[in-house]
A = this chain, B = another copy of it.
Amino acid sequence: MRNNPIGIFDSGIGGLTVAKEIIKQLPNESLIYIGDTARVPYGTRSKEIVTKFALELVDFLLRRKVKCLVVACNTISAYALSEIKKVSPVPVVDVLQPVVDRAIKTTKNKKIGVIGTQGTIQNRAYDLAIKKLDPKIKIVSCACPLFVPMAEEGLNHHQATKLIAREYLSDVIGGGIDTLILGCTHYPLLDEAIREAVGKGVILIDSAGPTVTELKKVLSEKNLLSNNPYLKYEFFVTDVPERVYQVASRFFGSDLKDKIRKVTL
């Protein structure tokens, strides 16, 4: 079992920022990634539909005998985590709890900002998880619906992105936060525009780092760290128009063109 791959899934290709971090922090692990590019984005969909789609992705990975599941999508983590844990016989690591833990450890003035898709922000999953651990923390949150398409277009340095970032983040900055949760796996691709909007005094917490640190801890505790020198990385999507290759390679940081396979759920 310990040499089976890690299963990682997302609504689309944003979770590749987490996959990249797994390969960096856990270089002895094989992984299977699946992104539901035929039905992305999930951020504007209802809880019911997101849960239905998420369980189909989980089923795909479990049939491939993964040793654990990484929910590399904030919307799925916010809406469907308990349902996924119910059906999964293997450990499940999500992107929400590890990020919340890290943010609480990081903030000094007890003021945390949260940005994400409309689904993540409306669901208030980050707010509730933070308040559960420390009810005194002040939270300022804000949906940033244009950030996903802007990240996919590679507009980190574009003046339009800076304008939109400044507008979206004005309330968050006005709230005097010292820590900002990037509550969407796409947002690290806009880190410069976001950093410029919030200023140097604010620490950005993205999904990938804390999630993979937690994954490492879970695998170690359950004696599931691989000792197999033969690595295998597999990437599946549910639809592959030409654009997926370009955007996926941008998110993963290297060319995935011949490595992505299409699958029907």
Contacts and interface: CB of A to CB of B under 8 A. Distances in A.
A214 interface: no
A153 B144 CA distance: 10
Contacts of A118: 241, 243
B163 A241 contact: no
B160 A149 contact: no
A46 B239 contact: yes
Q: How many copies does the complex hold?
A: 2
A119 interface: yes
A159 B163 CA distance: 8
B240 A46 contact: yes
Interface stretch (A14-22, A37-45, A80-88, A228-236): A37-45
Size class of the A contact interface (CB-based, 8 Å): 20 to 34
- A interface, by DSSP: helix, strand, loop or mixed? helix
Contact of A241 (B119, B146, B167): B119
A44 B243 contact: yes
A220 interface: no
Interface in A203-260: 239-244
Interface string A152-185: 1100001111011001000000000000000000
A263 to B, nearest CB: 12
Interface of A: 37-39, 44-46, 49, 118-119, 122, 145-146, 148-150, 152-153, 158-161, 163-164, 167, 239-244
12 contacts: A37-B45, A38-B45, A44-B243, A44-B244, A45-B239, A46-B241, A118-B241, A122-B242, A145-B149, A146-B150, A148-B149, A160-B161
A-B residue pairs, 6 tightest by C-beta:
A160-B160, A160-B163, A149-B149, A46-B241, A49-B239, A160-B164
